[in-house]
Structure 1
């Protein structure tokens, strides 16, 4: 059996979580709808709500309520957020699943020397609970929610600091995400970004601002190879 070349040694790949690694919308929207139902509001359909995911639980509650024609006044009803979190934790992996090809692709990238981490706007404890429930924790050197860094996506600090927490160098990193928060953070950090075209894209793919769009998770390997090769060529030119 031929050995896999460790050509990605020294490189770090940072992943968004919801809509990139995991199809988590069913459980998030399920919790949202359980908050809406006692108030007599109809459920928000999954198809119209996927774009709500990825900006954090408070934003999901606020925008989800607005989508249902309701208003959440956080000052008047702060306990709703706690109820949302408690309900979500109890149902965090009822229907959420890794996208097809995630495990095999992560294993392949790690075998080639890449260090993998997560940079998500989901609170770290919730992100770790979801990743753990799906048996994915072994893949990641660090899981960095907004509470583990100095600023949340789309601020570039989120990606930079997640990569550093994983022991990596932002100058040798790739971001993988599905939304403007991910492409914006990567651009601000000076890190190339692969867009998961199958995820919860909150803008047309052509306008998201990523470097490469992939249609399925298995295509990530070729995308990383392309970005790695381009970085190496740039470094070679700079050295001349």
Structure 2
């Protein structure tokens, strides 16, 4: 059955397709340790993930009761990236049922795209390590497009690259950047409530809620009904 021919499904990465918080916060904690600061627990710092490495460092230092002055210590960012790349998939794994869902969507004819605020090179390194890159027609970090989420251009530029139609597209994510970009682009959104939500899920303005990946088929059907004809 090729009922998704002509449709493009765009996915955020961290907190949507993969549970990457353990490795990102692990790197953050090693940077904190360099400064003699206490680690932040993964369980209480998941909300820090998803807005880029610089934001993670700034907010992580705040959580540890300190500050990171990027102008005074720009090298810390480079150390963070180097450490993260070395440990990029030590504990990161796809959420349960993600791989099976991607396989099913491809079988049904959908074009699959990653639209993430994570740098493209880091996104590809992670997806390569998890053997997921081959499942996507495009991996678009903010450096591959003209703006980062929540700007509509992130979605619209990615769609243009793969020849997709905004009237036959759905955005899947876990944070306000994802729902905001989808809303600005006129594309329905599916919100992963289990991800790294920066506010309560019901406040993020999503069109459809997804509590776990086993329910994605029903969520996608609901989102498609909202698409422009």
Name the SS for the 2:147 alignment partner: coil
- Find the partner of 2:36 among 16, 37, 40: 40
Residue 117 (structure 1) aligns with: 113
Per-residue deviation, 1:14 = 0.3
Residue 130 (structure 2) aligns with: 134
- Whether the 8 Å CA contact 1:124–1:148 is kept in 2: the answer is yes
Gaps of 5+ in 1: 236-240
Name the SS for the 1:93 alignment partner: coil
Per-residue deviation, 1:220 = 1.3
Q: Give the TM-score of the pair, scaled to structure 2.
A: 0.98
- Whether the 8 Å CA contact 2:208–2:222 is kept in 1: the answer is no
Residue 164 (structure 1) aligns with: 160
Number of matched pairs: 229
Per-residue deviation, 1:47 = 1.2
- Whether the 8 Å CA contact 1:13–1:173 is kept in 2: the answer is yes
Name the SS for the 2:190 alignment partner: strand
Residue 87 (structure 2) aligns with: 91
- Give a deviation string over 1:176-206, Cα, whole Å, max 9, x none: 0000010001001110000001111111111
- Whether the 8 Å CA contact 1:121–1:145 is kept in 2: the answer is yes
Separation in structure 1 between the aligned mates of residue 179 and residue 68 of structure 2, nearest angstrom: 29
Matches within 5 A, 1:1-240: 5-231=1-227, 235=229
Gaps of 5+ in 2: none
Name the SS for the 1:174 alignment partner: strand
Separation in structure 1 between the aligned mates of residue 158 and residue 180 of structure 2, nearest angstrom: 15
Q: Give the TM-score of the pair, scaled to structure 1.
A: 0.93
RMSD of Structure 2 on Structure 1 (CA)? 1.0
Larger Rg: 1
Per-residue deviation, 1:110 = 1.1
Per-residue deviation, 1:38 = 2.0
